[in-house]
Amino acid sequence: MANVQITETVLRDAHQSLIATRMTTEEMLPVIELLDQVGYFSLEAWGGATFDSCLRFLNEDPWERLRKIRKAAKKTKLQMLLRGQNILGYKHYSDDVVRDFVKKSIDNGIDIIRIFDALNDVRNLECAMDATVKAGGHAQATVVYTISPIHNTEHYIKTAKTLEGMGASSICLKDMAGLLTPYDAYNLIRELKKAVKIPIQLHSHYTSGLASMTYLKAIEAGVDIVDCAISPMAMGTSQPPTEPLVATLKGTKYDTKYDMDLLSQIADYFRPLREKYISSGQLNPKVLTVDVNTLKYQVPGGMLSNLVSQLKQQNKLDKYEEVLKEVPRVRKDLGYPPLVTPTSQIVGTQAVLNVIMGERYKMVTKEVKAYVRGEYGRPPAEISPEFRKQIIGNEEPITCRPADLLKPELDKYRNEIKEYMEQEEDVLSYALFPQVATNFFKYRQAQKYKIDSTLLDEKDMVHPV
């Protein structure tokens, strides 16, 4: 057994999970050289919600962030999270946009692209995986973990073997809700290790309080890499803390060989930042607690906070428990999709509507209709014909890969933003978030040419939060 390796998530998932992805590039750069010395398998530094957040809230160019991190991290591989055909947005994009995004990500410094699809529909990973391999990157294909009558060991092994056959460089088992229990992890990793020859990485969240124990059993079963966050930005809805795991494995055959003094220096850097986030209200102490509802309702921590927010807006917070009970019912109706972006939002919003309206599916969101039509891909389990008819009437659902129905879009986007374009990557920023990117481009122009910001329309301004 080779030494276990760790992917450090503090630059991406840790702050996405704890402070809604509000850490700035300026806050990251002073510690990159220390992180680079540890010997991590990789630094997860980009993708997920960081792209949207940079443009929408921080007045930052996400591509520039990536280039700056790459310049500072001279030895360690940089990793990003990509939502398959959704890229970093919330809908399917055409293949030419996916391919160009993957190539530009690698050109700007990404080494490893972790690619997932919310439904484990491998057809939605094909294009991004192929583009990653062709651009010389490491395609880490993802098996999304959840619990349902059809999500069993056999399902996960079949998915992993298919992904290996599609050219994956490694497999990530992605437990976004912290549902994987220690002994289940041991059994599942052991079977996966027998079934595939490529490395296996485990990603979990601490929401349910299980993840550190789960990692230990997964390591004993032969997992190659685990995702951790440096302690001041760990636990709660984030990942398990790095240092305790390194200490636990020290002197064993799984020893990471990481320097605890160096990790301590990195923790010292993030500790005052954590206090700053708590003082500003960005880091709510509630997200640092163990939430047993995660195990009870199989709902990820981020989704729980969304449900609370939606109910507050409707003055219906008293319906919270009712909504939590409705989530598994909606999920069953939709063929047991794993609850991860965007399906967590689709299921959660519909559950809220069902409860508030006092009648199930009296009002149906356009996203639920699109899902039932097959626009997001193939549901894990068959949707009943009766339910389908209730949602979309006599419409025939699509059965092909959804992106096969999309025409190339890149040239159209390039033409639409030519007046603002300063780099080729701007086309991709605009393709993913048209309004948000346009606002950012206007802000960037104003800064560059020192235009008085009062000359910009209020709607053109991007307000940092």
- Of the three residues 353, 379, 399, the one that is the final residue of a domain is 399
- Residue 353's domain comprises 291-399
In this structure, the answer to whether residues 142 and 276 fall within a common structural domain is yes
In this structure, the answer to whether residues 264 and 206 fall within a common structural domain is yes
Residue 404: inside a domain, yes or no?
no
Mean pLDDT of the chain: 93
Q: Tell me the C-alpha distance between 36 and 77, whole Å.
A: 9
Q: In this structure, are residues 176 and 143 in contact, taking their beta carbons and an 8 Å threshold?
A: no
Tell how far CA 389 is from the center of its chain.
32
Residue 80: inside a domain, yes or no?
yes
Q: Which residue has the tokens 């092909």?
A: 400
Q: In this structure, are residues 331 and 119 in contact, taking their beta carbons and an 8 Å threshold?
A: no
Q: In terms of residues, how long is the chain? A: 465
Q: Tell me the average pLDDT across 409-429.
A: 96
In this structure, the answer to whether residues 243 and 271 fall within a common structural domain is yes
**Predicted confidence (pLDDT) at residue 226 exceeds the cutoff of 70:** yes
CATH code, 317: 1.10.472.90
In this structure, the answer to whether residues 332 and 420 fall within a common structural domain is no
> pLDDT per residue over 303-336, tens digit each?
777 788 788 888 998 999 999 999 999 999 999 9
CATH code, 206: 3.20.20.70
> pLDDT per residue over 251-292, tens digit each?
999 999 999 999 999 999 999 999 999 999 999 888 888 988
Q: Tell me the C-alpha distance between 192 and 168, whole Å.
A: 14
In this structure, the answer to whether residues 357 and 274 fall within a common structural domain is no
Q: Tell me the average pLDDT across 93-119.
A: 98
Which candidate, 127, 119, 195, places its Cα nearest to that of 157? 195
In this structure, the answer to whether residues 139 and 240 fall within a common structural domain is yes
Residues forming beta bridges with residue 175, ordered by sequence position: 204
> pLDDT per residue over 164-191, tens digit each?
999 999 999 999 999 999 999 999 999 9
In this structure, the answer to whether residues 314 and 440 fall within a common structural domain is no
In this structure, the answer to whether residues 18 and 103 fall within a common structural domain is yes
Q: Tell me the C-alpha distance between 202 and 159, whole Å.
A: 15
Q: Tell me the C-alpha distance between 374 and 376, whole Å.
A: 5
Q: In this structure, are residues 145 and 173 in contact, taking their beta carbons and an 8 Å threshold?
A: yes
Return the amino acid letter for 268.
Answer: D
Rg (CA), the chain: 22
- Element holding 407 (H helix, E strand): none
Residue 328: inside a domain, yes or no?
yes
In DSSP notation, 270-287 reads: HHHHHHHHHHHTSS-GGG
